[in-house]
Amino acid sequence: MNVRQLFNKWVILGALLFAGFLFLITAISIGWKKPPQSADVGFAPADVTVIPASTSTSSALPTPTIDPFAPTVVPTGIATGNYVQITGTNGEGLRIRSEPGLTGEPVFLGYDSEVFIVQDGPRDADGYVWWYLVAPYDETRAGWAAADFLSYVPAP
């Protein structure tokens, strides 16, 4: 059989028409048509929160008072009702215990810069002065901590 007979002008024209038809169907199916109308959403304002730059925290100790009902101020500035933060653990954290002293069961680990409210103390045990601390954001985070790893911070 002759190859020229297989590829005459009618076969070629039919193949081109068929290819054009397939191209048109493909173009329509992948999106060469009018895009759908988008819904008009209008203007949506955004909420902006401005956070002021941080300022240095005063390291001044609280002023002692003569009021007998006022918290007792000790030289470290730590007293019941004051705020303290954990310092000096070199990133290892401070074991907050169920009782004052090294024999008290550790309840949780407090991290450097974590802030607590002093609710009880001081108590002397095992060569340390112990204070009962409660986290202001979670009252379940409470226990006794050694004063060597606490520093006074002013109330927020």
Residue 56 or residue 101, greater confidence: 101
Sheet containing 150-153: give its strands across. 106-110, 94-97, 138-146, 128-135, 115-125, 83-86, 150-153
Which pLDDT belongs to residue 74? 47
Alpha carbon of residue 89 to chain centroid: 22
Tell me how many helices (H) and strands (E) the chain has: 2, 7
SS3 22: helix
pLDDT, position 83: 93
User: Bridge-partner residues for 128, per DSSP?
Assistant: 125
Sort 144 into a burial class: Cβ within 10 Å, 0-12 / 13-18 / 19+: buried
pLDDT in tens, 103-151: 999 999 999 989 999 999 899 999 999 999 999 988 899 999 999 999 9
pLDDT by residue (tens digit) across 11-40? 889 999 999 999 988 888 877 556 656 656
* Residue-wise pLDDT tens digits, 35-93: 656 656 566 666 777 777 777 666 667 666 565 655 554 446 789 999 999 999 988 99
What pLDDT is stored for residue 67 in this prediction?
59
pLDDT at 12: 87
User: Degrees (nearest 5) of the Cα angle 93, 98, 104?
Assistant: 85
